[in-house]
A and B are shown apart, each in its own frame.
Chain A
Amino acid sequence: MTRGKFSLLFLLACLTVLPAVAFASEAGHGHEGINLGEVLPLYSAIPFAGMLLSIALMPLFLPKFWHHHFGKVSAFWAVLVAIPMVIAYTGTALYEFVHVIVADYVPFIILLWALFTVSGGILLRGSLRGTPVVNTVMLIIGTALASWMGTTGAAMLMIRPFLRANNYRKNRSFMVVFFIFLVANIGGALTPLGDPPLFLGFLHGVPFTWTFNLLPEMLVVAAIVLCIYFVLDTYMYKKEGITAPVDEGVKEPFGLDGALNFLFLAGIIGAVLMSGLVDWGSINMFGIHRSVADLARDGILIVMGALSLVTTSRKVREDNDFTWAPILEVAYLFAGIFVSMVPCLLILKAGTKGALAFLIEAVKEPAHYFWAAGILSSFLDNAPTYLTFFSTALGSYYPGMPEAQAVPKLIAENAIYLKAISCGAVFMGANTYIGNAPNFMVRSIAEEAGTPMPSFFGYMVKYSIPVLCTTFVVITYIFFI
C-alpha cells in the first residue's frame, strides 16, 4: 500500500470513528425511545454543512475535481454522518436514515426523474425572432408552465427555442439570466410539481392545493421581474440596432414534437394529486409505514416516465440534446444531502429543546422566515433549506408534536410562516447559480450554445441583487409584515 493510500484510509478512519466515539459518549446507554433531536450535538450538523458548502464552493474553485468526483464527495459526507450515528444510537438512528431514504429521497427522485423524462420528450421547433415582445411572451409561457411540468422541465423545454430565437442578438446574457429568474425559479411556486422544496412539503403533509395560495406573491414578483425585463430588452434591442436576423436562409416551421408527453404530464399531475386526496391505508416497508396511495403514485410516475421513453421517437430526444447526466447528478448529490441532513432536521424539530434553540428563538416573524429561508436557499440548494425551515417552524410552534398533526395545525393557525418559507425557498433559489438545480443546467446549455454568461459574482452583482433583491424587499412589505 502506498503512503498516500494509507494516509487517506487513516484519515477516513479517524473521520468516521472519532465522531462515533463522541456521539457514543454523549448518547450513553439505552437509547431506544429517546428523542434524537434533543440529544444530538450541534456538531452532528457539520457533515450537512460540509455537503452544502461542497455544492456551493467546489464548482467555483475546483470545477474539474468536482465534475468527476462529486458522487464520492456526496458519499463521503453521507457516510461521515451515518456511520457514527448508527454506531452511537443503533436502531433509533438507523430508523431515521431508512425513513429519510424510503419516505423522502426515493419519491423525490422518482418525481424529478418522471418530470425530466417526460419534458425531455417534448420538442418545440420553429424559427422565432427574438424581439422584446416575443421574448417576454416566451418567458410568460415558461413561467406558467413551470408549476405544472417542474422548473427543470419547463426550463429544458423552453431554453433551446429561446436561445435559437435570439441567436442574432448581440446581448443575450441578460436574457438567459431573466430566464433563470422566471422559468427556472419563480414560475415553480404554484404546485408541489413546480419546485422540489414544495414537493418535499407535500411529502410532509402540505396539501397539493395549498400552494395555490402563493399565487398573489408569485404574480407580483413575476410581474415586476417581467416588466424590468421588457424595459431592459427594449432598450438593448434599440441600442443593438439589428432589425432582422442576419441569416434568414433556413427557416424552420413552428411545431411541437412529442406532444403525447403532455398526456403523461397530465398523468403525473393526476398521480400526485391522487396521492394527496385518497387514503388507502399504509404498509410497512423496511420498518417504515408508507401510504399505499404514495406507493401507487410512485408506481404511476415510473410508468409515465417509461411510457414516455417507449413512445417518444429517439430523434425528438436527440434534437432536444436529451441526456441523463443532469438527473443522475441530482440523484447522487441528493442522496448525500438527504442522509447528511438527518441530524439537522431532528435537532430543528426538537424546537427549543434542541441544540439549534438559538436559531428557533432568533427566527420569529414571517419576514424572518422569508429572508432566512431565502438567503440560505440562494447559496445552498433550496430543497433541503425549505425542509430545514419547515422543521424550524414546526419546532417553534408545535415542539415534539408528530408531523402528521403539526402540519395541519401550522397551515390552519400560522399559514403565513409556511408561505414565507415557501416563497423564500422558491423565489430566492434564483439569486445565484447554485440556488436551484435548473439554474446550472440552463447556464450550461446557454454557454454550450455560445451565449457568454456572467460569472458567479457577476450574476449576483449585475442582476440578482439589483433586480431580485429589490423585488423581494417590495413583497416583504406587501405580504410578510
Chain B
Amino acid sequence: MKKVLFATKFRELAFDALESLLDLKAAGLKEVILTYIIPREEVAFVPYGGYMKDEEERLREQARIRFEDWQEALSKAGVDSKIRIEVGEPVPKLVRIAEKEKVNLIVAGRKKRTALEKVYVGSHTLDLLRRSTAIPVLISKYMVYCDMEGQCVRRVNEHPFQRPLFATDWSKPSQNALEFITTLKGAVDKVDVAHIIGVKISKSLDKSELNRIEKESKVRLDKYCATLKKAGIKAEPHLTAGRTASEIIRLSRGLNSTMIVLGTTGKDRVKEFFVGSVSHRIAEASELPTLLVP
C-alpha cells in the first residue's frame, strides 16, 4: 500500500476524511495524489458563449490553495503528496489518472444523505465503482447520520482500517480483496471474515445439502483466516445466513466493525438493473466506509 488517490469535491469534512487515511502509513503509505476534477459543464459549453477560461482559472486556483494547505498536513505526517487538478468528465478522468499514477487505492467521498433518498453514495461514486475494474475503491464516510433503533445517530468513522468486516462470496474478486487486505498490515488490528449463505441457496436446498455447504463454508473461512494470520493480521471467522446485504450490515453493527470490505464484479448499469449488485447496495446503505475490490 504505497500510493492512494484521494478524490475530492471539497465537501465538508473532506480534510478529516483525508486525515483518516493517515492510518495507512503504518501499512506503508508513501504518497497521496490529491485530485480534483472540475466538471466540464462548470466551465465549458456556455450556451452561445463558449468557454469560461477565467472561471476555470479561478476554480483551479481555489483548489490549489486548499490542496497546498492539505499538503502541509500530509508532509508533517511524513507522507508525500501530489496535486492533480483537471477539467473533464469526473469519473473517467479519475480512473485514467489512477491508472496513469499506478495507485493502489482510490478514495472517494460520500454524498450527503437526504431524507428522501436514504443512501450514502451518489451517482458519480456508483459510476466510479462500476468503472474501476482494476483498482480498489474506498468510499470514505467520515461522518454520517444513520438510523439506529429508530433514532438518528451521528457516527464518526475516524479509523476505518482498524477492524474491517470482510464479507466473501468465494469469488475471484473476493480472493483479490483478501490479498488486498494483507497489504493493509499494520493499519488493521483485526479482520472479521464473514460468509453469508444467501436466502436463494438455503431455500432451494434440503437440510443435508445445507449442512454440507455449512461445513464447506467453515473450512473455507478458516482458510481465509489462516491466510490473514500468515500475513500477520488477526482474523476471526463468522458464518451466517439470510439476505446477503442486510445480513452483512447487521453483522457489521454487531461486531463494531469500522469498515466493510467486499469483492465486486463490476456489473455495468444494465446488468446491475436486472441482477442487482450486493456490493453496491451495501456501499449505498451502510453507514461504514466501504472498500470494494474488483
Q: Among A220-228, A267-275, A440-448, which stretch is in contact with chain B?
A: A440-448
Q: Knowing A323-B40, A448-B44, say if A440 contacts B87 (CB, 8 Å).
A: no
Contact with B along A302-328 (1 / 0, CB 8 A): 000000000000000010010101100
Interface check A437, CB cutoff 8 A? yes
Q: Complex Cα distance A448/B39, Å?
A: 12
Residues of B within 8 A of A325 (CB): 40-41, 44-45
Q: Is the CB of B50 within 8 A of A318?
A: no
Residues of A within 8 A of B47 (CB): 55, 59, 66-67, 70, 329-330, 333, 440
Q: Knowing A321-B88, A321-B89, A448-B44, say if A66 contacts B49 (CB, 8 Å).
A: yes
Q: Complex Cα distance A64/B42, Å?
A: 9
Could you tell me which A residues sit within 8 Å of B by CB distance? 55-56, 59-60, 63-64, 66-67, 70, 318, 321, 323, 325-326, 329-330, 333, 381, 433-434, 437, 439-441, 443-445, 447-448, 453
Q: Is the CB of B52 within 8 A of A321?
A: no
Q: Complex Cα distance A444/B51, Å?
A: 4
- For A67, give its contact among B46, B53, B87 (CB under 8 Å): B46
Q: Indicate the member of B40, B46, B50 with the most A CB atoms within 10 Å.
A: B50
* 8 nearest A-B residue pairs (beta carbon): A59-B49, A447-B51, A443-B50, A444-B51, A329-B47, A434-B48, A67-B46, A444-B50
17 A-B contacts (beta carbon < 8 Å): A55-B47, A59-B49, A60-B49, A63-B55, A66-B47, A67-B46, A318-B92, A325-B40, A326-B45, A329-B45, A329-B47, A439-B48, A441-B45, A447-B50, A447-B51, A448-B40, A453-B50
Residues of B within 8 A of A381 (CB): 48
Residues of A within 8 A of B50 (CB): 59, 433, 440, 443-444, 447, 453
The closest CB in chain A to the CB of B41 belongs to A325
| Interface residues on chain B, size class | 10 to 19
Per the 8 Å Cβ criterion, residues 41-86 of B in contact with A are 41, 44-53, 55
Residues of A within 8 A of B51 (CB): 443-444, 447-448
Q: Complex Cα distance A164/B55, Å?
A: 24
Q: Complex Cα distance A437/B53, Å?
A: 19
Q: Name A's interface SS.
A: helix
Q: Is the CB of B41 within 8 A of A447?
A: no
Q: A59-B47, A70-B47 are in contact. List 17 more A-B contacts (CB 8 A).
A: A59-B46, A63-B46, A318-B92, A325-B40, A325-B44, A330-B47, A433-B48, A433-B50, A434-B48, A440-B45, A440-B48, A440-B50, A444-B46, A445-B44, A447-B51, A448-B44, A448-B51
Q: Complex Cα distance A326/B41, Å?
A: 9
Q: Knowing A323-B41, A325-B40, A325-B44, say if A67 contacts B92 (CB, 8 Å).
A: no
The closest CB in chain B to the CB of A332 belongs to B47
Contact with A along B82-109 (1 / 0, CB 8 A): 0000011100100000000000000000
A276 to chain B, nearest CB (A): 30
Q: Complex Cα distance A277/B206, Å?
A: 67
Q: Knowing A318-B92, A448-B87, say if A63 contacts B45 (CB, 8 Å).
A: no
Residues of B within 8 A of A59 (CB): 46-50
Contact with A along B14-42 (1 / 0, CB 8 A): 00000000000000000000000000110
Q: Indicate the member of B48, B52, B87 with the most A CB atoms within 10 Å.
A: B48
- For A66, give its contact among B46, B87, B88, B89 (CB under 8 Å): B46
B270 to chain A, nearest CB (A): 9
Residues of B within 8 A of A329 (CB): 45, 47
Residues of A within 8 A of B55 (CB): 63-64
A65 to chain B, nearest CB (A): 10
Q: Is the CB of B48 within 8 A of A321?
A: no
Q: Indicate the member of B47, B52, B55 with the most A CB atoms within 10 Å.
A: B47
Q: Complex Cα distance A70/B41, Å?
A: 13
Q: Complex Cα distance A439/B51, Å?
A: 12
Q: Complex Cα distance A172/B87, Å?
A: 21
The closest CB in chain B to the CB of A322 belongs to B89
Q: Complex Cα distance A249/B38, Å?
A: 29
Residues of B within 8 A of A445 (CB): 44
- For A55, give its contact among B48, B53, B87 (CB under 8 Å): B48
Residues of B within 8 A of A448 (CB): 40, 44, 51, 87
A409 to chain B, nearest CB (A): 35
